[in-house]
């Protein structure tokens, strides 16, 4: 009877270790699956915003320093102070579309973007003239 108890104890310990290793491996896979630079989780909201601008259609109409269809993003940064109100306002314009602020040309709406993602992109744009992020 003692022997059997010993066996059970050993088996339990081995099993516990086995499943612990397994969960560590799953975490490793999670990291290895990150395929591109753009999806790397960046704690920095401005960095995330830059990645989102690359992933979306923004650069078809915007260039960092030159006007194309829309204003150069550095010009947008110069026009607005880096405040929380401006982040919200610009994010709403990105989602709902905009016209009449820079000229008659329309920025197409982006209804699939979340407010949070649009705000990250607004942060990135507003950071382009070197202004510091609001607290």
Binding footprint of ligand HEC on the chain (CB under 6 A): 53, 56-58, 60-62, 69-71, 76, 90, 93-94, 98-103, 105-108, 110, 121, 125
At its nearest, how many Å lie between ligand HEC and the CB of residue 77?
9
At its nearest, how many Å lie between ligand HEC and the CB of residue 96?
11
For residues 12 and 134, which CB has a smaller minimum distance to ligand HEC in the complex?
134
* In the block, residue with structure tokens 């704690």: 43
CB 122 within 8 Å of CB 49 = yes
For residues 11 and 68, which CB has a smaller minimum distance to ligand HEC in the complex?
68
At its nearest, how many Å lie between ligand HEC and the CB of residue 93?
5
CB 134 within 8 Å of CB 82 = yes
For residues 16 and 104, which CB has a smaller minimum distance to ligand HEC in the complex?
104
For residues 20 and 54, which CB has a smaller minimum distance to ligand HEC in the complex?
54
Q: How many CB atoms lie within 10 A of CB 124?
A: 23
Name the residue among 98, 48, 46, 92 with its Cα closest to residue 69: 98
Show the tokens assigned to 68.
């194309």
At its nearest, how many Å lie between ligand HEC and the CB of residue 134?
16
Q: What is the C-alpha to C-alpha distance for residues 27 and 102, in angstroms, rounded to an integer? A: 47
């Amino acid at each position: 009877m003692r022997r059997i108890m010993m066996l059970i104890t050993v088996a339990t310990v081995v099993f516990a270790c086995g499943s612990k290793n397994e969960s560590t491996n799953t975490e490793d896979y999670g990291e290895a699956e990150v395929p591109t630079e753009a999806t790397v989780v960046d704690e920095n909201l401005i960095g995330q915003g830059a990645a989102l601008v690359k992933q979306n259609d923004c650069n078809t109409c915007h260039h960092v320093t030159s006007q194309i269809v829309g204003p150069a993003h550095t010009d947008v940064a110069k026009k607005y102070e880096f405040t929380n109100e401006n982040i919200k306002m610009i994010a709403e314009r990105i989602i709902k579309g905009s016209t009449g602020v820079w000229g008659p040309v329309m920025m197409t709406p982006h209804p699939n973007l979340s407010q949070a993602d649009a705000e990250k992109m607004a942060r990135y744009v507003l950071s382009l003239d070197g202004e510091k992020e609001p607290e």
